[in-house]
A and B are shown apart, each in its own frame.
Chain A
Amino acid sequence: MFELLTEKFSNVVEKLKRVKKLDEKTIDEALKDIRRALLEADVNVEVVKQFLDDVKQKLVGQEVIKGLNAGETVIKLIYDELLNILGEEAPLEKAEKPPTIIMLVGLQGTGKTTTAGKLAKLLKSKGYAVGVASTDVRRPAAGRQLCTLAESIGVPCFIDESEKDAVKLTEKVIEEAKKSGLSHIILDTAGRLHIDEELMDELAKIKEKVHPTEILYVADAMQGQDAINTAEEFHNRLGLTGVILTKLDGDAKGGIALSVRKVLGVPIKFIGTGEKIEDFEQFHPDRIAQRILGLGDIQTLMEKMQAAIDEDKAQEMAKKVMSAEFTLDDLKEQLQMIRSLGPIENLLKMIPGVGAKIKDLKVDEKQFIKIEAIINSMTPEERANPHIINGSRKRRIARGSGTTIMDVNKLLKQYKEMKKMMKKIKKSGKMKLPFNMPKLPF
């Protein structure tokens, strides 16, 4: 089982497998690796220290969780604690009397303007009358960038390029926006490369003038140790009501989420997950916690626990696989299970014996959607007995799923191969967990 965990935590797990109850020494050993993981995720050094000191108190004397060893237990408990700190999902507040003014603040280059567009789109899709306004008098073409975005979303945009005073500009655009009877106005403010007095003054004055319901701090998930100092400065001057984390579509771990939550106590409300305007979602603490610690590891733990607790279900699936009764419906179910666990690439890395080989593999998640669509377009009978699928059935399935006959053929061929592989494995008797698929169908 130990090869399932990535290198990061292998030390803890290796060393601490025999301990039954968590004592201080065991915990200290485990915390070393966790400290490393947190620092690599750019969690602020001081926050890491405080966090680990706090959890250590809670861990001493804990029983080792059934199905896990001591090192794994510590990791699991830390994960729970991270979830705890990252907090509940926090919805946007609404003003008693519309419009609700949402002010976005943050440094330059964190993605404020793009975020303004994304948030506008999200609110619009929920049926609100949204407008965006820019108060940035500094950066060349900032207002135009916002309006280009607004145009593509189809929401009104308020700018005034002739006004060079940010506070006056804000008054003007808000007044203008209010006349249009909007329910929400998103205010994109100027950023600077760094905190400076002038900017803070400007923002404080704007706040004073328009009394925003939400002041959201836009933070780049890639930011390093200094990130928390900046966020703190903004919070002290403006009283932030929430944070939006951007650029989480890269491989940055977003340790700033933990720093911000721990130091400022402000909820993280949204995350930006891509370049497209719809790549924007409500914050899910579990995903960030997994990311900060190293996703694969945690999911492995979850599965192991699942396997320990819910042995029956796992056995049932294993039996099915071994008896080669594995139908297309089962395949679909497995794919859905896998997809619900997170990015496939990370998941694949944990499959025993596969992890190392697919280090650089890129998985096109669309393939999964395609496979599901194809299976969905089959009748129950076809799913149970794929061999009855003839030419005209294939044509119907391809049409129904929006794919080609070639795609259908490919899937059927791969399914056949999988079954063959499973028979082989059955003979060697190695199959235990439901996720140990010998070969994924792509």
Chain B
Amino acid sequence: MFKSMFDKLKKGLQKTKKNLIPFRGKIDESLFEDIEIALLKADVGVKATEEILDFLRKESKKRKIKEGEELKELLKEKLIEILKKCEGKLELGEEKPAVILFLGVNGSGKTTTIGKLAAQFTKEGKSVVLAAADTFRAAAIDQLEVWAERSGARIVKHSQGADPAAVVYDAVNSAKSRGDDIVLVDTAGRLHTKEHLMKELQKIKRTIQKLMPNQPVETILVLDGTIGQNSINQAKTFKEATDVTGIVITKLDGSAKGGALIPICQELCIPIKFIGVGEDIEDLQPFEAKAFVEALLE
């Protein structure tokens, strides 16, 4: 699992090989500049990049580091230290069904993530229900239906334009009475700046809790790995509105590096549950700090 995530990430990164940091040789100011540019290019952001560089400058002096390769190890160490805190696994709990709510802005890959996850769960022999609570986007229900067919999950849907909370109610209620294992709730993509839509999410959550007070066991924010500094705002706002318990970061198999995870992790400490490194079902993989950092710097 580890190897394949790393390989896929690396494959994506090879496309941008010209951006690699020249760690060979002695440390000089231009190496620090190269590191700075590389981090900025990876979407790490100005603030986090400045902090990391400050650390490298001070620490390399303290440790009397002279060689570029050593500095690379130091940088890796630092990045892993930051991201290690955010390694997380999906927690399903004891109660059945386990309800998992998915949120995110438009186009971040919620439906696809749910589809892949549903396929992984059904493969493990679990019975999965998909709640088509994205009643806004034209054909969102169709798209989820295709995933239900592919994965063998059951889908609960209303028509387009229906009240999403009502869909969720039906899905959770029927899963409860039929004894299903997992309910995956697909919500409409929403920009985090739309307050009324954030309120709608809270309503969906309350609806779930009316039926099952301890659910949703996970509230997962799906972030697009190609998004820049705005993903920090996204994570902050969604967390404030709905108490996000985990992050899935998608689209990391291309040349974007998803470095925004670093400030997100530093500032918000939300566990990262999965990363998406490809279009196949098994390309949704657990997040590992070490592999992620290796891929970022290799």
The reply to whether the CB of A227 lies closer than 8 angstroms to some CB of chain B is yes
Bitwise, B76-112 to A at CB < 8 A (1) or not (0) is 0000000000000000000000000000011111000
Does A193 lie within 8 Å of B142, measured CB to CB?
no
The reply to whether the CB of B131 lies closer than 8 angstroms to some CB of chain A is no
User: Contacts A250-B191, A362-B195 given: A109-B40 contact, CB under 8 Å?
Assistant: no
Measured between C-beta atoms, what is the minimum distance from B115 to chain A in Å? 9
Does A109 lie within 8 Å of B108, measured CB to CB?
yes
Q: How many residues of A contact B (CB 8 A)?
A: 44
Does B227 lie within 8 Å of A109, measured CB to CB?
no
Bitwise, A129-160 to B at CB < 8 A (1) or not (0) is 00000000001111011101100100000000
Does A149 lie within 8 Å of B254, measured CB to CB?
no
Does B227 lie within 8 Å of A223, measured CB to CB?
yes
Measured between C-beta atoms, what is the minimum distance from A233 to chain B in Å? 9
The reply to whether the CB of A100 lies closer than 8 angstroms to some CB of chain B is no
Chain A residues near B294 (CB-CB < 8 A) = none
User: Contacts A145-B138, A251-B233 given: A226-B256 contact, CB under 8 Å?
Assistant: yes
The reply to whether the CB of A225 lies closer than 8 angstroms to some CB of chain B is yes
The reply to whether the CB of A222 lies closer than 8 angstroms to some CB of chain B is yes
Selected interface stretch from A35-43, A237-245, A320-328, A403-411: A35-43
Q: How far is the CA of A148 from the CA of B40 in the complex (A)?
A: 41
Q: How far is the CA of A153 from the CA of B230 in the complex (A)?
A: 31
Measured between C-beta atoms, what is the minimum distance from B200 to chain A in Å? 13
User: Contacts A36-B46, A226-B226, A226-B254 given: A220-B107 contact, CB under 8 Å?
Assistant: yes
Does A141 lie within 8 Å of B146, measured CB to CB?
yes
The reply to whether the CB of B167 lies closer than 8 angstroms to some CB of chain A is no
Does A224 lie within 8 Å of B192, measured CB to CB?
no
Does A140 lie within 8 Å of B142, measured CB to CB?
yes
- Chain A residue nearest to B146 in the complex (CB): A140
Which of B40, B42, B43, B107 touches A111 (beta carbons < 8 Å)? B107
Does A223 lie within 8 Å of B139, measured CB to CB?
no
The reply to whether the CB of B143 lies closer than 8 angstroms to some CB of chain A is yes
A-B contact pairs, 21 of them (CB 8 A): A39-B229, A41-B229, A42-B43, A44-B41, A45-B40, A109-B108, A113-B138, A148-B138, A193-B253, A194-B12, A194-B254, A220-B226, A222-B105, A224-B43, A224-B228, A224-B229, A226-B41, A247-B107, A250-B105, A251-B193, A253-B229
Q: Lowest 9 CB-CB distances: which A-B pairs, in order?
A: A224-B228, A109-B107, A194-B254, A145-B139, A42-B228, A141-B142, A140-B146, A148-B138, A226-B256
Which residues on A are within 8 Å of B, measured CB to CB? 36, 39-42, 44-45, 107-111, 113, 139-142, 144-146, 148-149, 152, 193-195, 220, 222-227, 229-230, 247, 249-253, 255, 275, 362
